[in-house]
Every structure is written in structure tokens, then in C-alpha cells.
Amino acid sequence: MIAAIIIPTFGACGLLFAAYYAFLTSLIRVDPKDKKYDAGDALRGARDISVSQKIFDISNAISTGARAFLSKEYQYMAVFIGLFSIILLLLLGLVHDWVAAVFSTVAFICGSLTSILAGYIGMRIAVYANSRTAIKAELGFGPGFVTAFRAGAVMGFSLVALGLIVLYFLIMLFNLHWPSAYGDHEATRLMYEALAGYGLGGSSIALFGRVGGGIYTKAADVGADLVGKYENHLNEDDPRNPAVIADNVGDNVGDIAGMGADLFGSFAEASCACMVISSQSVDLSASKDVMSFPLIIFAVGIMVSIVTSFIATNIKVVKTKNQIEPSLKTQIIVSTILMTPAAWLCCYYFLPHGEFTVSGMEGVTLIQIFVCICCGLWSGLIIGLITEYYTSSAYKPVQDLAESCRTGPATNIIYGLALGYLSNIIPVFCIAITIYITNKYAGMYGIATAAIGILSTLPIGLTIDAYGPICDNAGGIAEMAGMPDHVRERTDCLDAAGNTTAAIGKGFAIASAAFVSLALFGAFISTKGLTSVDILQPLQFAGLLVGAMLPYWFSAMTMKSVGKAALAMVKEVRRQFSEHPGILTGETPPDYERCVAISTSASLREMILPGALVMLTPLIAGFLFGPECLAGVLAGSLTSGVQLAISASNTGGAWDNAKKYIEAGALGPEHGKGSPEHEASIIGDTVGDPLKDTSGPALNILIKLMAIISLVFAPAMPGIGGGLLVQTHH
């Protein structure tokens, strides 16, 4: 059994690689009292001791705030895991089968705990590395870049490797109860249907991580920007701004922990969807290696990503600011190129060499599956690059957006919305063409392998995603601690490149969510025996309309939640400035902890209703109105959710980079910071913040989570024509 060697071995390599990079990061000591590794900070002796102490204290304050938020959020999650486990156990047990119910619940709990652990690891390395990135940036662009990149890699590789190992050993555990699996088709099918609970657990936690963390970070960001930057003309991370620590904490709990949980959910769901679909094929379910094919792709992807990462850290090392963004883009492109032949080797050695039947399609070959994987892999790259075109200040769309600020915030907002709508065109065509080709070649199994393909280089994607917030925090620490101006200039350049590649990552995440959701949808309709969604049928058409409306409802809830939390933050910052005028003069220290507490309580309170909407909709539709109606709901939410997510993310990203473009003096020195154009760009960026970091990314989870809930609860739902409120007789 080659898979039994490759999967855990390559997974262990991923964990060891992450541990190695974490060790290298730890050699940079921040505590000024610790003299053990002075070589990690070559300028420590020349730096004012008070500055070193401030770096240490600010880093600790950010770390403490992030831990406090996650601790409270995980308490909410623990209650949710317990309650939902009971619901899952009782519904599946009473209606379907108690054995399947127990194993589905075990898989759900394992997926939830793995997602929590992955998010926590990401947050810990981020708050550990932010001050170290600032320290290394004092030496130059290269040392700062490598430090942030290695820290991002700790999250990227540990998350994928951890998820891979836990999922594989969960399969081995389930195999003990179903020892006839891989010989008995029915036993194999039951085992992998129960395993789908792993994806449900991962995605459920991702929902709360993305929504809760997104509300936290944007409440702090909006409050800090509106009162600090817009009303009082303070710099981005001026230590006089009471919301500045909360803003930096938000980068870690939203953009790191939340984002990590989101993409872990995609990994878990894509794996489970692919294996559930293949378990329904007699030709594929007879071999453990074939059934483990998606896990093999991910295991090989870890090794490809390790090789690729050395380009940024050892081969093509950044030396100037102009090399930062190309270096990050090279990671994405090279990993895609290297993964292409690696995917062919996986197909050649682990798929049947003759024709086989899957997803109801006969005559499928390994070459066709290879094409499906490549379609997902390369369409993800294309979508990422198109996202970069619409969100990077190096290209015309963002430059035009910045020019629109000359006539005020109204034209800036109009141009930004138009940019987001236009940015949908090519990505949607890429997704549509990929779906057509993969479905034609291998049905829903082809779409599922396309989802595996786009996620196969996930360690690199996560590394680049985590890199940006780490650099952002490093800049904040450099300014608050009073480090030399050139340090902030360098971290801003590192962060600007991170913003662009983070936008690429968001496009990548949305595309992967579309493929994963459709693969889960395919597994659901296969399980329920449906063959199509017929919009001429009134129940399915009604479900389609409701499903298409849900992303708008969900977005409205999350944006309003950000607005409520931001309003409380704005009031608090204004109160502190009003009651303590000495804050602005530097004579009185701000109350940072009060702002952190406001963001924490508001985000945890406001994440409950959006979460309930996503979790309950598929259960209500499936049990009360039947699988046909639910199929319509899933199709509708996927169709509108993907396009709304692309538009929201790109609009917000473009506004953010247009602001930075103006701050850099691109419109002329007289139109830089503090000018009317700059103030107009701040308004646009403030409007875009909840779009790009809360509602936009959270829509990925909405379409995936509804589909995985439908799949896991499918065995307990009424059959075709059923439903407690709607019953037809055939």
C-alpha cells in the first residue's frame, strides 16, 4: 500500500519543515533582557534600549489581545461543537443508522478540533513573528522579507500537513469498524459518507473564525481610520490612536486565524467530496490507493511547495523593494508549474490504467482525470493573476480609481463598485470553462478533482496569505515603537506587496470554494438519487431564487454587524480624545485595552445570527421541503455567492491599494497624505474594509458549508418527492 507510506511520510515532512522555520524565527530575540542570541538582531547594541523595550511591550500587547479573543471565541465554539454533535448524532441515528451517526459525529469533532488547532498555530506564529520582522527590516528588505515569509510558511505547511495526517488516520480508524471496505462496495460507501463529517467540522469552525475574526478586525480598522486618520489626521499606526492595538490584533485573528480556518475547510471538504463520489463507483472503491488519491495529491503538493519555498528564501532572495512582489508571484507560478508533472505522476501510479466508470460516466481514463486536475490548478492561477490586475496599483484599474479621488469620495466609490463588477468577468468564464471540461470528462468526480487541483499548492497559497498581515503588524510595531523612519518605509513596501498577493489569495480561495461547493453538491445529489435541478419545476425554481438571495442576506448581516461594532469603536475613540486631550499631545497614554474589549465582545455577539442563517437553511430546506428544493437552494447560493464574493473582495482590495498609491505620492506630492484626494481614498478604503475582509471572504464559507451540511445530513433527509411540508407521490 504505497499510499500508506506516502501520505503520513510527506505529511510529517510538512510538519518538520514548519518546525524548522519556526526555530529559525525563534533565533531572533525580542526581549531586550535576553542576550543569548544577539546575532539574531545585529543592531540591538546600537538601538536605544527604550525602543527595544517598546518593541517587546507592543508585541506582547498584540499577542495578549489575540489570545484573549481566540480564547473567548473558542469557548463559543466549544458550546457549538457540543450542541451540533448532539443534533448530528440524534438526527442521523433516529432517522438513518446509529453506527453511521456515531462515526459522522466523531469525524465532525475531529474536523472541528483540527480547524481550531490550525487557526491557533497560525495566530501564534503571526504574533510571534511580527516584531521579529520589524527588527529584521531594520537591516534591509531581504531580512525582513525572509522573516515574514518563513513565519507564513509555518502556518501554511503545518495547517495542510496536520489536516492531512488527521484525516488519513481517521480513515484508518474507520476501517477498523468496516474491515470489508475496499472489497465490499456498500461498506466502502458507508465509511466515506461518515467521513464527510470531517469536512463539516472544519467548515463550521471556519464560519465562526471568518465571521467573528472579520467583524473584529474591521470594527477596529474602521474605528481607527475614521477617528484617527480622517478626523484627526494621525498616521496609520500612530500610538496616540486608542484603537491601534485592536487594529493590529484584528490582523491576526481575522486575516490569519480566520483565513487559515477557511482554507482548511476547503481542504477538508474537497478531500471528502472527492472520496465520497469515488466511493459510489464500484471501479474506484475497490482500491485503498485509488480512494486515497486526493490525499496523495495533497501530500505531493506539500513536497512541491517545500521545493518552491527555497526560491524565495535561498535562491532568488529579495534585495530591493522592486523584487518583493515578483518574488511572491514567482512562488505562485513556480508551484503551479512544478505541480503539473507531479499531478501526472500521481495519476499514472495511483489511478486505474484502463477505462473506469465514475459519476455515472463510462470510459473515463487517467488522462482525463489529469486534465481535470490541471484545469483546476491553472484556472486558479489565472483567476489569481486577474485578481492582481484589478487590485494592484501597478495596473490601470487601481490607478484610475486613485485618479477618481480628485473629485471626491463619491466618484471614488462609484469607480470602485464598477471595478468590482468588471472583475467578475474573466474569473467567471474560467470557472465556467473548467466546470464544463471537467464535467464532460468525468462528471462530478472531474469537478471534485479540479477542486483538489486548485488546492494542491495550498501550503504556498497560505504562506503568501499569512505573509501580508505579519508585515502589516511589523509596520505598526515599527511606528509605535519609534523605530527609524526607513524601517516603516520598508515594512510598508513589504506590506504593499502582501496586499496584492493577499488579493490573489482571495481570488484563489473564491475559485476553490466554487469548485469545492459544486463537488459537494454533486456528492449530495448522487447520494439522494437526483439527476438534475429542473428550473421548470416550481419547488426547485423557488429554492433557486431563495438560494440566490441568501448571499445578499448573509452579506447584509455581516456588514451591518461590522457597522454596529465600528460605531461602538468610533464612539469610544472620540470619547477618549474628548475626555483626555492629552492623548493627542502625547502627554496621556490611550486606553488600548478598552478598544480591544469592545472589538472582542461585539464580534462574538454579532457572529451568531449569520452563523445560524448558514447552518439552519439547508436543514430547514431539506427536511421540510425535500431534497429537490434543497438542490435548488444550493445551486442558487453557489451561482450568486461566487460572483458577489469576487466583486466584494476586489472592490475592497482596490480601494485599499488606491489609498496606498495616493499616500506614496503617485498623484503628486501635493496630493499625498492629508490632501482631499487622500481623505477621499480613506473613505473608500473604510467602505471597502468589510467587503474585502468580512462579507466577501465569508461568502466562500457560506456556499461550502451549506453544501457539506446537505451532504452529511443527506442519509437522514426525505427521499425524492419527500419533505415534511411538501410531499408528492410518484
DSSP letter at 535? T
**Calpha distance 678→360 (Å, rounded):** 58
Sort 382 into a burial class: Cβ within 10 Å, 0-12 / 13-18 / 19+: middle
Backbone φ and ψ for 363, nearest 5 degrees, come out as: 75, 20
What DSSP element (H or E) covers 551? helix 538-579
How many CB atoms sit inside 10 A of residue 530's CB?
18
Closest CA to 44 of 132, 128, 148, 149: 132
Residues 6 or more apart from 36 whose CB is under 8 A from it?
29
What stretches in the chain show pLDDT beneath 70? 1, 34-48, 727-730
Q: What is the pLDDT of residue 730?
A: 44
C-alpha cell, 332: 505562485
Q: Which of 576, 522, 515, 548 is nearest to 637 (CA)?
A: 548
Please tell me the distance from the alpha carbon of residue 683 to that of residue 686, in angstroms, as a whole number: 5
Assess contact for 195 and 218: CB atoms under 8 A: no
> With contact defined as beta carbons under 8 Å apart, do 159 and 121 qualify?
yes
Instruction: Report DSSP letters for 584-637, one per residue.
Output: HHTSS---HHHHHHHHHHHHHHHTHHHHHHHHHHHHHHHHHH-HHHHHHHHHHH
Closest CA to 198 of 259, 266, 109: 109
Identify the three-state secondary structure at position 318: coil
**Nearest CA-CA partner of 434 in 421, 456, 452:** 452
C-alpha span between 135 and 505 (Å, rounded): 27
The residue written with cell numbers 476586489 in the block is: 650
Closest by CA position to 427, among listed 499, 361, 515, 301: 515
Q: For the purposes of burial, counting CB atoms within 10 Å of the CB of 102, is it exposed (0-12), middle (13-18) or buried (19 or more)? A: middle
Look at residue 362 and give its three-state secondary structure. strand
d(C-alpha 105, C-alpha 84), whole Å: 9
State the cell numbers at 403: 485618479
Residue 443 identity: G
Q: Give the span between the Cα atoms of 650 and 422, in whole angstroms.
A: 10
Q: What cell does 554 get? A: 448573509
Quote the Cα angle for 509-330-258, to 5°: 30
Q: Whole-angstrom Cα distance, residue 587 to residue 311?
A: 48
Spatial CA neighbour of 450 closest among 602, 304, 266: 266
- From the list 548, 596, 595, 558, the residue with the least C-alpha distance to 697 is 558
Q: 3-class SS at 358?
A: strand
Spacing of C-alpha 473 from chain mean position? 19
Q: Give the burial string for 169-199 (b: 16+ CB within 10 Å, else e).
A: ebbeebbeebeebbeebebbbbbbbbbbbbb
Write down the residue that cell numbers 466511493 correspond to: 279
CA 387 to chain centre: 15
Query: CA angle, 195 as apex, 212 and 74 as ends, to 5°?
Result: 25
Instruction: Tell me if 404 sits within 8 A of 415, measured CB to CB.
Output: yes
Q: What count of other Cβ atoms lies within 10 Å of the Cβ of residue 486?
A: 12
DSSP codes joined into one string, 117-151: HHHHHHHHHHHHHHHHHHHHHTT-HHHHHHHHHHH
Burial class (CB in 10 A: 0-12, 13-18, 19+), 354: exposed
For the record, the C-alpha cell of 158 comes out as 503545518
User: Could you count the other beta carbons within 10 Å of the beta carbon of residue 729?
Assistant: 4
Whole-model pTM: value is 0.91
Which tens digits make up the pLDDT trace of 188-219?
A: 989 998 998 999 998 888 888 888 888 887 78
Alpha-carbon dihedral of residues 49, 50, 53, 57, nearest 10 degrees?
-170
501: cell is 498577493
Please state, in angstroms and rounded to a whole number, the distance separating the CA atoms of residues 293 and 287: 10
Q: Report strand pairing: 356-358 vs 361-364.
A: antiparallel
Q: Which residue type does 169 have?
A: F
* Of 218, 692, 655, nearest in space to 502 by CA: 692
Rg (alpha carbons) of the chain, rounded to whole number:
25
Note the pLDDT of residue 552.
Answer: 94
Length of the chain: 730
CB contact set of 381 (below 8 Å; sequence gap of 6+): 332, 333, 336
Amino acid at 346: C
In contact, 206 and 115? CB cutoff 8 Å: yes
CA distances from 230 to 235, 290, 485, 581 (A): 10, 58, 22, 17
* ∠ Cα 220 226 229 (to 5°): 100
| φ/ψ of residue 31, rounded to 5 | -65, 120
Which residue type is seen at 461? Answer: G
| Residue 460 neighbours by CB under 8 Å, 6+ apart | 156, 305, 308, 309, 331, 332, 335
- pLDDT tens digit string along 254-298? 778 888 888 888 899 889 889 988 998 888 888 888 999 999 999
